[in-house]
Chains A and B, each alone.
Chain A
Amino acid sequence: MMKKNLLKSSLVNIVISDIDLTPGPFCMSFHFNLEPLKGSIEKYGVINPPYLLRNPDNNFLVVAGYARLMAVIELGWHDIACHVLPDSFSLFNALLFNLNDNLIHRQFNSIEKGMILQRLTHFISTEEIVTNFMPILGIPSNKQQLELFLGLDELEERIKISIAIEQLSIRVAGLLRHIDKNDRLKINNLFTSLKWSFNQQWETIQWIKEIASREGCSINKIINSKDINEVLHNTTMNKPQKVKAIVRILKFRRFPSLSKAEKLFIKGVSNLSLPLGVKIIPPPFFEGTDYKLEVTFRKGEDLKEKLANLCNVPELKHIPDFWKGI
């Protein structure tokens, strides 16, 4: 933990070209919008000056205030008043300083959380990170999650942006790491060009991977298949409809027997001419043996009539057999 007397810094006017502006060892900002900050600085100036550390090359490392510096550069400033921390200020304390500075006024996106965890690994043990820092960042404290977040750094910028703006699920990103670069960019495009829920993304990426494994073909080939392309270029469907259609195509390819059974069952039941408001529900995945009957009615008389009509459907006795011809 930082000691309370560590914040002895001097406010100095620094020429911006003397500051190392590559995202340094304390940077935890990714894909931020500078416009509101620029607007504020134009109106009120830099209310909280950035904090810097002098580095051995005699220029300065940014400890806190990276976005503020980016904003003033865009505004064409030549120099800026900064706090320069004493040389005795350790790198680890500088990292903690910036973390705390950020924690009090904003939420991190997932890529930024990954950056923070990555930087912490240079100073403390895995166990310490899991126990003390992951809860602060709102991440479940376990090694698997830590690995997931650390691995985000390996992904391409486009994918990182999709994660940061929550277009791509972090769980999916974990799987993307183990997929060929071109394939993962293709998946990123598919997921960000339409409106997918995270659950749909998760299910779909697994199916695509498993289809590729079973059929011995590339992920790219699956996504580029004729039927998926037709959906993607269909001008009469909206985005959610396209997602549903692609999910259906992939499900059929991933679970051909189950999908066929479901189709046969639906067809068999629809041929029964059941009374209106009567539904027959198969056991989940046809694994159990118990089917359910659902009757929607308003009054007892209505129910009696529906049940009587139901008793007059002779084909009911074929119910479990509808799907067994797969």
Chain B
Amino acid sequence: MGPMKRFKVRRILIEREAENDSLSKKIIEKLPNIPRERVGSNELALWEDIEEMDKDSLRLIHYKGEFLKPCPGTRRYICCGYQILNVGINCPMDCSYCFLQSYVNQPSLRLFTNLEDKLNVIGEFIDNHPERIFRIGTGEFTDSLALNYITGWTHFLLPFFSSRKNCILELKTKTSFTKDIINSRYKKRIVIAWSLNTSRIIANEEEKTASLKERIISARECQKAGFVVAFHFDPLLYYSGWENEYEEIIQLLERYIDPTSIIWISIGSFRYMPDLKWHILKRFPDTHIFDGEFITGLDGKQRYFKPIRVEMYAKLSERLKKWYDNLGIYFCMESDDVWEQSLGWSPKNSSNLSKYLDNRVRMVMPA
């Protein structure tokens, strides 16, 4: 497998209201030879495009909703109190397990072109709550860096968040597209994060993403350039031989990464709303992600039977701690008893997990 390549854009769909937004103009300038179509915001998409997600079309949208929103988390499990900066929806990569396949009912890579114009509103909100620490990420509904070479998101987001003392911006990615940010002057309050998985899962279930090694080498380069980094073992998948293969990831981390400037490492096992399964099986009929023992969780999502989760979390976190004992390990959407059994302690509730992570910010990225 060669190095990760930039994604090909087949067409640009421009909603009428987005035409005059600054980001639209920049994107059109960047891609002058790509066919463009003007579309209305209410125009119905084709069934086929919705199903296949139309991942090679950009749709430029003047977003009317809130750009900064708390992560919805999940009922009855402990969540981290993250804030999502909604820069767009959908992603040019194609992970079999991606929740967007059932979450999104509109196709194309949807980019919100008035983001830059709305930053002042977000800034005002953050500045009006100096007592809080805002942990903000753009990687929930899209990949934070996959389309950055087109959108130039980091050109305006890095300076904007770097200048604020009560927030951090986490750019979460499965790419190796760090060239554009590595030379940035704005590294303060910025966390570059990678989702990690075994080489087998990356090859079989994470189409068009960077290889494991590429991700870790990119992380090393970012660390060397002065960025704080984070890692997310999510979704953890259980299969015969998982332990040895996750061990390989940690060995790579040990070889390339300085653990002292990792702000946190999250771990979350594969979980999904029941409906997602049918979308996945349709698009990825040969996937093995459903092979494990899934039960219905307290929030209605399917997740591994608890002893399996505990086994995976305990082994992985113990191994990570052996590497470095202060990595800010936390679980994504897990219950108090799973925390206790896997890690030997529990934040007990979401509010305490938030505090724990806020303290990680204070410790690793002092204002």
Contact = CB atoms under 8 A, between A and B. Distances in A.
B306 A326 contact: no
B97 to A, nearest CB: 15
A130 to B, nearest CB: 9
A285 B296 contact: yes
A261 B306 CA distance: 11
Interface stretch (B106-114, B196-204, B251-259, B283-291): B283-291
B296 A258 contact: no
Given A143-B47, A178-B285, A285 B305 contact: yes
A258 B285 contact: no
A263 to B, nearest CB: 14
Given A257-B307, A258-B305, A289-B337, A214 B295 contact: no
Interface in B125-170: none
A257 B288 contact: no
A213 B47 contact: no
Interface in B294-314: 295-298, 303, 305-308
A138 interface: no
Interface in A223-264: 254-258, 261
Interface in A123-154: 126-127, 143-144
Nearest to A215: B291
A210 B287 CA distance: 10
A57 B128 CA distance: 82
Interface string A282-326: 001111110000000000000000000000000000000000101
A193 B27 CA distance: 62
A254 B47 CA distance: 34
A315 to B, nearest CB: 21
What's the dominant secondary structure at chain A's contact region? helix
**How many A residues are at the interface, by size bracket?**
20 to 34
B291 A288 contact: no
B37 interface: no
B180 interface: no
B291 A210 contact: yes
B293 A255 contact: yes
Most chain B beta carbons < 10 A, residue from A126, A210, A286, A287 = A287
Contacts of B335: 287, 289
Contacts of B303: 287
Nearest to A144: B278
Contact of B291 (A127, A214, A261, A286): A214
A289 B341 CA distance: 13
A267 B291 CA distance: 28
B295 A258 contact: yes
Given A261-B307, A285-B305, A287-B306, A256 B293 contact: yes
A287 B307 contact: no
Contact of B298 (A143, A257, A288): A288
B24 to A, nearest CB: 30
A143 B160 CA distance: 44
Contacts of B291: 210, 213-214
A25 to B, nearest CB: 25
Contact of B297 (A214, A287, A289, A324): A287
B334 to A, nearest CB: 11
A254 B294 CA distance: 10
A178 B336 CA distance: 41
A285 B295 CA distance: 6
Contact of A257 (B290, B305, B336, B337): B305
Interface string B54-74: 000000000000000000000
Given A143-B47, A258-B295, A287-B296, A326 B307 contact: yes
8 contacts: A143-B47, A144-B278, A214-B288, A255-B305, A257-B307, A257-B308, A258-B295, A287-B297
Interface of B: 47, 51, 278, 285, 288, 290-293, 295-298, 303, 305-308, 335-337
Interface of A: 126-127, 143-144, 178, 210, 213-214, 254-258, 261, 284-289, 324, 326
Given A257-B308, A287-B306, A289-B337, 11 more contacts: A210-B290, A254-B293, A255-B293, A256-B293, A257-B293, A261-B305, A285-B296, A285-B306, A287-B295, A287-B296, A324-B307
Q: Which 6 A-B pairs have the closest CB atoms?
A: A285-B295, A214-B291, A255-B293, A143-B47, A258-B305, A257-B305
